[in-house]
Amino acid sequence: MGADNRPLLRRVGRAAAITGAVGVAGLGYASVIERNWFRLRRYELPLLPPGSPRLRILHLSDAHLTPGRKMLIDWIRGLEAYEPDLVINTGDSLAHPEAVGPFMDALGPLLDRPGAFVYGSNDLFSPQLKNPARYLWRTSKTDYNKRRVPDLPWRELGASMSASGWLDLNNHKGALKANGLDVALAGVHDSHIKLDRYEDVAGPADPAADIRLGVLHSPEPANLDRFEADGYQLLLAGHTHGGQLCLPFYGTLVTNCGIDRERAWGLNGYGDAWLHVSGGLGTSPYAPVRFCCRPEASLLDLVAPS
């Protein structure tokens, strides 16, 4: 190779080294710092009848818990300090066959408060190693076509939450009292694994309730449309991880379901209802990174119009 090409090769080599260093630094930030940089989002919605007391809802989702995640467990336990009136868990709580006990420990004193839950696909089926780039052109729904037998202790998880008085809303309706208010709820099992049966909860929401909540794991528009049409005022979902890997000034790349990117996380209008999609608290243990998408839980203060 001629000497005239050596300066060019040195520049190319330096550029490659810098690019590699930036990549390693970004991966370290995404896997060590941001993945454990939990935040609590707060919202206020004037949805209650005049003269009603505040109803504070804590929305948890997508913990994907493994027994060793002590920082996450401790952070969830600390949410009791915000004194929620109602806790809603929209699924994907597990990522390990021995995670039920740690997850119940994480909930801790929150279990003494009124609550309700639905399952996500990863409460039934353990995470598997896969190419994350596939999410750019397809969802993970087809990954479950060959997985028929659940291998995670979802029954134990549900029994533990139900034993604490939380409502199992997997294709069920329910009602409870929270801070003196009548709350009507309906939920569906996870549409991502084709276990949702909206027909089991179909029909107008209780008009006498002070607030009507629709609960689901994956925010598929087909189910959201039906909840909204039946009169549920606030719809709560998870599943998307807010995109998990987002781009600055662009946001969510993929939602892994039918919801649009603009509503992949946070609070947005949905017809005559409000939709809150949690960005979630965890990740698959095979993709333990978050970028521009911090793990989160949310407090939604429902109030009477001023």
DSSP letter at 291 equals B
Tokens encoding 96: 């390990």
pLDDT at 133: 63
pTM for the whole structure? 0.89
Low pLDDT (below 50) residues in the chain: 1, 8-24
Digit-coded pLDDT (tens) for 81-115: 999 999 999 999 999 999 999 999 999 999 999 99
pLDDT at 27: 60
pLDDT at 139: 76
Identify which of 224, 257, 280 has the alpha carbon closest to the alpha carbon of residue 138.
257
Digit-coded pLDDT (tens) for 136-152: 667 787 777 777 799 99
Interior/surface letters 155-182, b for 16+ CB within 10 angstroms, e for the rest: eebbebbeeeebbbbbbbbbebebbebe
Strands 251-252 and 172-178: unpaired
